[in-house]
Amino acid sequence: MKIDKTLDGSKLTMSVEGRLDSITAPMLESELKAGLDGITELILDFSDLVYLSSAGLRVILAGQKQMNKQGSMVITNANEAIMEIIRITDFTKILMIK
């Protein structure tokens, strides 16, 4: 998995590429823990995310909880396979998806 970060003031865009699974989820977790200070708008760009498991979902959920305290978080460009995982776990009710 590869994470590209683009910071524009207090707006952070993280582009996640590859697989977000039990092995790689801790990497995203570390990036979120370390990189959200002062951020009011977090965009998770999933254009190149090809696989998502519950381990990744938990990290996304933790990110959402953190951003609820300091601003907003949006998921963008998730493909149909990723959206299906988000839908079946009812995360559509918790996450903002564009």
Partner 1 sequence: MIKITGLTKRFGDLTVLQNVSTEIGKGEVISIIGPSGCGKSTFLRCINLLEKPTAGEIFINGENISDRRADVNRLRQKMGMVFQSFNLYSHLMIIENLMLGPQKLLKTPRQQAFDNGMKYLEMVGLAGKAYSYPDELSGGQKQRAAIARTLAMKPEIVLFDEPTSALDPTMVGEVLAVMRKLATEGLTMLIVTHEMKFARDVSTRVLYMDEQGIYEEGSSEQVFDHPQRPKTRAFIHKIRSFVHKIEGKHFDLYAFNARLEQFLKRHMFTEKKINTMLLISEELLCNILPDIEGEYMLEYSDETGETTVTVSYMKEEEENPLTSEEHSLPLMIIQNSAKDVSYHFADNKNTIKITLEG
Which chain residues interact with partner 1 by CB under 8 A?
21-23, 51, 53-55, 57-58, 81, 85, 88-90
SS3 98: coil
Cβ(86)–Cβ(98) under 8 Å? no
CB closer to partner 1 out of 54 and 68:
54
CB closer to partner 1 out of 33 and 58:
58
CB closer to partner 1 out of 11 and 51:
51
Measured from the CB of residue 41, what is the shortest distance to partner 1 in angstroms? 27
Measured from the CB of residue 84, what is the shortest distance to partner 1 in angstroms? 8
Cβ(51)–Cβ(19) under 8 Å? yes
CB closer to partner 1 out of 43 and 75:
75
Measured from the CB of residue 51, what is the shortest distance to partner 1 in angstroms? 7
Residues 6+ apart with CB under 8 A from 85: 52, 53, 57
User: What number of residues does the chain have?
Assistant: 98
Cα separation, 29 vs 25, in Å, equals: 6
